[in-house]
Amino acid sequence: MTKKIKTSPHFNALAELNNEQIKKILGHFNPLKVKRGVNLLQEGSVSKHLYYVQVGCIRTFFIDKEGVDKTSYVVAPDNFGTAWSSFIFQQPSAEFIEAAENSELLAISYKEFFNFIQTDLVWKNFYLKILELAYLNQSRKIEALMTLDAKQRYQKLMKGNPALIQKLSNKTLASFLDMREETLSRIKSKK
Amino acid sequence: MTKKIKTSPHFNALAELNNEQIKKILGHFNPLKVKRGVNLLQEGSVSKHLYYVQVGCIRTFFIDKEGVDKTSYVVAPDNFGTAWSSFIFQQPSAEFIEAAENSELLAISYKEFFNFIQTDLVWKNFYLKILELAYLNQSRKIEALMTLDAKQRYQKLMKGNPALIQKLSNKTLASFLDMREETLSRIKSKK
């Protein structure tokens, strides 16, 4: 059973839309079921879809030069995500996208999405909001990477989003917090 | 004499506007001269201005728990910048903003900027473009922080933006690359 992670309305891309607008927008997304571990995008390919997570979660990650998996972003239920830099500029992605759990998604193609954005102000405002939130998440990530050590990063996530800690496997959580699995286990056991 | 760093037109927020639109937008910004080292924003304050760099450069930075200065972002000439997360959500900033050189800026207030965005499609498109570029820069930063070691981060910047290496002081450059000054000196001398 997958638990839903509640997001604050202020920090949800759909929060400023009325029900009719939400229905209209999500009505253009197509349902997609993916098994845990399935890649939705390979590094080097161009991201052609934006996803909305209904159940489960997806993550974006890099593979560094030593072959270590580094999670850059986790998209929890009720949130939108993709490999944004690749999607926006239609350039090869530095990141993979993977279903981190068995997931039920809604997907829209780049072409359709940007057509709507260019012609419909509701879509444009919606895109702006998703982008603002994606920016905010990234800047929190940079702050954590630059100013906190492994233990502090764990504690911050524990305080800010404890549901995510329960949701992710130890491997993915360690990769998301940019630490080794052994370090995560040590931190968890010392709590 | 400050050298201008050329940005690719595709990656410039003004690139998709015609001269008249650029004039119209920048006409609402106010000129501001700041000496090197002056803070434009303190950590904990709300970012009330968006800046356009004409000459010089500004940077955003954190101070970590050990009191170490960590540069998150450098805004070169012809680019826009602020402490975005604070500016967008009008929340206290985790970052400082500082003039990294004697700089000539143009500034617009949050209030005026968001008024234009809500009423004028040219402004909205312009905002979307800056935000997309700010996102791209952040995601490159995350990739560098998560997947590259100190030497590789230096080499990547050397390849992608050599002018920035010449422009920034060793202290700021080391802080931007998330390494100690001694490490930077060692890498530079081994080139």
How many beta-carbon contacts under 8 Å exist across A and B? 96
In whole angstroms, what is the distance from residue B12 CA to residue A87 CA? Answer: 18
3-state class of A38 per DSSP?
A: coil
CATH 2.60.120.10 fits A9-190, yes or no: yes
- Interchain pair A146, B178: CB under 8 A: yes
| pLDDT tens readout for residues A56-66 | 999 999 999 89
ipTM of the complex: 0.90
Residue-level pLDDT at A84 = 97
- Interchain pair A143, B88: CB under 8 A: no
Nearest CA in chain B to A126: B128
In whole angstroms, what is the distance from residue B40 CA to residue A71 CA? Answer: 33
Domain coordinates of chain B in residue numbers? 15-147
Chain A hits for B65, CB-CB cut-off 8 Å, are: 147-148, 152
Nearest CA in chain B to A121: B121
Q: Which of A62, A80, A85, A117 to mutate to test the interface with B (most CBs of B within 10 A)?
A: A85
In whole angstroms, what is the distance from residue B62 CA to residue B59 CA? Answer: 10
| Alpha carbons within 13 A on the beta-carbon side of B165 | 15
Confidence label for A160 from pLDDT (cuts 50, 70 and 90):
confident
Facing residue for B132 by CB, picked from A88, A139, A142: A88
- Shortest distance, CA B146 to any CA of chain A (angstroms): 7
Structure tokens at B110: 């949050």
- Interchain pair B85, A152: CB under 8 A: no
Q: What is the mean pLDDT of residues A165-176?
A: 91
Nearest CA in chain B to A83: B139
Facing residue for A141 by CB, picked from B88, B135, B142: B142
Q: Are the C-beta atoms of residues A59 and A75 closer than 8 Å to each other?
A: yes
- Shortest distance, CA B29 to any CA of chain A (angstroms): 22
E-strand ranges in A36-189 read 39-41, 49-55, 58-63, 69-75, 80-81, 96-99, 103-109
Lowest mean pLDDT among A23-27, B7-11, B68-72: B7-11
- Interchain pair B124, A124: CB under 8 A: yes
Confidence label for B16 from pLDDT (cuts 50, 70 and 90):
confident
| pLDDT tens readout for residues B71-111 | 999 999 999 999 999 999 999 999 999 999 999 999 999 99
CATH of domain B15-147: 2.60.120.10
pTM above 0.80, yes or no: yes
Q: Which of A84, A97, A135 to mutate to test the interface with B (most CBs of B within 10 A)?
A: A135
- Interchain pair B65, A143: CB under 8 A: no
